[in-house]
Amino acid sequence: MTEAAAPVGELTALGTPPRPFRFGAAGEGNKQEGGARKFVQTAQEAEEMGYDTFFVPDHLGDQIGPLAALGALTQATSKIRLGTSVLANGLRHPVVVAKELATLDVLSKGRLEVGVGAGWIKEEFDNAGIPFERPGIRLEKLDESLTILDTLLRGQECNFEGKHYQVRGIKGTPRPRQGPRPPLCTGGGGPKMLALAAKHADIVSVVPQTTKNGKGLLSGITLEKTIEKVNIVKAAAGDRFADIELNWAITAIVITDDREKTAEMALRAIERGLHPDLEVDVELTVEEILSSPYIAIGTFEEIAEQVKRVRQLTSMSYVGIFPTQMDAFAPVIPLLRED
């Protein structure tokens, strides 16, 4: 771990101070969360708990439509920022989505964060009859879409001749409230996706790599692998790295007085295949589980210290929390606000 951490430690030597923490909650409005009627209440609770942002994902399954839902939140909330995490680029044309996003930024009085990704659940595309191109094509299309969105969300006229999109004389209206535009967010786990994010995004999400079937690789949750991904972003971003905010999502939170015993139980569960969304490609130690940015185990104070250490070693500072974990993590927020 020490050898892997050294390259990221250079960030401090280069004069990049740690960013203040920000915290993002999320909601899908699915049946497990109480449906669409509970969705607005969930966002209001996140605002009261001190979360900085409330995100809505974009899938064709059991969830509400993200853009319409955010429109409701522009009026039902007053302070919390609102974001998409993330829109699947293959489901929408960037010119059309730019109009919707600009409108959301105006209605929210400048609280929008724009998350856009390449789309990754093949089954959803297949079931909808929408082509799910090979990864290289999806990345090309996302590259072009982010370029178009960057122009239109500045309220400028877009003339773009790309391989996949051609835009001629469309002006971005309405003009968003934020200047020069609402922040763009994208990210991933592979080097090509991370390099693309470093090229375009104000916020880069660092996520574990997945298999072709959408399962997360167990090896991808370690601190060492996370540091490698941050260094990819740093190399690709060059001089603008200091302007990029790095985000990650904690996928599991367990409040306990015995971190080691709980980590041992988690490892045994993984070995028995009780986590079907994970592909076990390595054997991890208790120490690796406890140091993983994506798993938070311990008392509120211990989790706060763990999150601080992640920021110290990776420069990641924007913490995402899954919908079902919002209440569990809330007491940690004030402990990190003091930092």
- DSSP sequence for 82-109: EEES-EEGGGS-HHHHHHHHHHHHHHTT
Specify the pLDDT at position 331: 98
End-to-end CA distance of the chain: 24
In this predicted structure, the answer to whether residue 232 has a pLDDT above a threshold of 90 is yes
Specify the pLDDT at position 10: 42
| Under 8 Å between Cβ of 25 and 92 | no
Question: What tens digit of pLDDT does each residue of 109-155 get?
Answer: 999 999 999 998 899 999 999 999 999 999 999 999 999 999 999 99
Among 4-13, 157-166, 195-204, 230-239, the minimum mean pLDDT is found in 4-13
Question: What tens digit of pLDDT does each residue of 202-212 get?
Answer: 999 999 987 76
| Under 8 Å between Cβ of 19 and 317 | yes
pLDDT band at residue 87, thresholds of 50, 70 and 90? Answer: very high
Q: DSSP secondary-structure letter at 15?
A: T
Average pLDDT in the 188-203 region?
96
- DSSP-assigned beta bridge partners for residue 321: 250
Specify the pLDDT at position 14: 37
Of the candidates 302, 246, 331, the residue with the CA atom closest to the CA atom of residue 21: 246
- Which superfamily is assigned to 22-338 in CATH? Luciferase-like domain (3.20.20.30)
Of the candidates 249, 258, 228, the residue with the CA atom closest to the CA atom of residue 326: 249
Specify the pLDDT at position 86: 94
In this predicted structure, the answer to whether residue 105 has a pLDDT above a threshold of 90 is yes
Specify the pLDDT at position 13: 32
In this predicted structure, the answer to whether residue 8 has a pLDDT above a threshold of 60 is no
**Burial (Cβ within 10 Å: 0-12, 13-18, ≥19) of residue 90:** buried
What is the widest separation between alpha-carbon atoms in the chain?
61
Q: What is the mean pLDDT of the chain?
A: 92
In this predicted structure, the answer to whether residue 7 has a pLDDT above a threshold of 60 is no
Average pLDDT in the 282-295 region?
94
State how far the Cα of 110 lies from the Cα of 92, in Å rounded to an integer.
23
In this predicted structure, the answer to whether residue 4 has a pLDDT above a threshold of 90 is no
Q: What distance lies between CA 280 and its chain's CA centroid?
A: 23
Average pLDDT in the 236-257 region?
96
Q: DSSP secondary-structure letter at 264?
A: H
Specify the pLDDT at position 301: 97
Place of tokens 């994208």: 186
pLDDT band at residue 315, thresholds of 50, 70 and 90? Answer: very high
In this predicted structure, the answer to whether residue 339 has a pLDDT above a threshold of 80 is no
- The domain segmentation of the chain, as residue ranges, is 22-338
Specify the pLDDT at position 213: 66
In this predicted model, which residue has the larger pLDDT, 295 or 212? 295
State how far the Cα of 181 lies from the Cα of 154, in Å rounded to an integer.
5
